[in-house]
């Protein structure tokens, strides 16, 4: 797995786990039984982040510096934790620019993380990073792990 996928995944997971460790305020008022549970959620908490690292450009095989800047929004709904991130990605000196999103869900039975980033440069080269991981909390087994950083060409 490339550093781009690993560090993007780590940024979102770290923000989600920070909320789990620090705790979020839970609603103190009883919820009416006829009211849908999604109406009694906490507002998402924003965690800005920036990560800079060197990685291999999959289009050339050369090293470039990757900068990822974004925000992870973490929300609790009962015992569930939901996080989503939006980010901008740039590289130097290769000049790729792009964006990405990811999502993290812990529903008490499984933890799922999914990420997609798309970058392009002035020459029209494109890079796609995709990753998905599912962990079964009852057994601790990783059910799915797939990911790659790939040059899509022009």
**74 part of a folded domain:** yes
**35 part of a folded domain:** no
Q: Mean pLDDT of successive 10-residue segments in the chain (154 residues)?
A: 46 43 39 47 85 93 94 89 94 94 93 95 94 92 91 82
Helix (H, G, I), strand (E, B) or coil at 121: coil
Looking at residue 41, its pLDDT comes to 57
**80 part of a folded domain:** yes
Domain hosting residue 57, numbered range: 3-25+43-153
**33 part of a folded domain:** no
**34 part of a folded domain:** no
Alpha-carbon distance 56 to 66, whole Å? Answer: 9
**30 part of a folded domain:** no
Question: What's the predicted TM-score (pTM) here?
Answer: 0.69
**53 part of a folded domain:** yes
Name the strands in the sheet holding 110-120, side by side, starting at the edge strand that comes first in the sequence: 45-56, 63-77, 80-92, 97-106, 110-120, 126-136, 142-153
Looking at residue 43, its pLDDT comes to 82
Contact 147, 132 (CB under 8 A): yes
* Domains of the chain: total: 1
Alpha-carbon distance 89 to 109, whole Å? Answer: 32
Looking at residue 79, its pLDDT comes to 85
Closest by alpha carbon to 26, among 71, 70, 62, 78? 78
């Amino acid at each position: 797995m490339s550093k781009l996928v690993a560090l993007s995944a780590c940024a979102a997971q770290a923000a989600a786990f920070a909320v789990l460790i620090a705790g979020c305020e839970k609603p103190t008022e009883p919820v009416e039984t006829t009211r849908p549970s999604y109406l009694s959620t906490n507002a998402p908490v924003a965690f800005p982040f920036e990560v800079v690292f060197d990685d291999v450009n999959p289009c050339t095989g050369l090293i470039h510096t990757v900068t990822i800047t974004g925000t992870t929004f973490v929300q609790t709904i009962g015992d569930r934790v939901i996080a989503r991130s939006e980010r901008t990605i740039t590289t130097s000196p290769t000049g790729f620019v792009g964006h990405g999103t990811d999502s993290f869900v812990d529903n008490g039975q499984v933890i799922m993380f999914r990420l997609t980033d798309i970058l392009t440069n002035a020459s029209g080269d494109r890079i796609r990073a995709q990753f998905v991981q599912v962990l079964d909390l009852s057994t601790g087994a990783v059910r799915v792990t797939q990911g790659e950083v790939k040059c899509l060409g022009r």
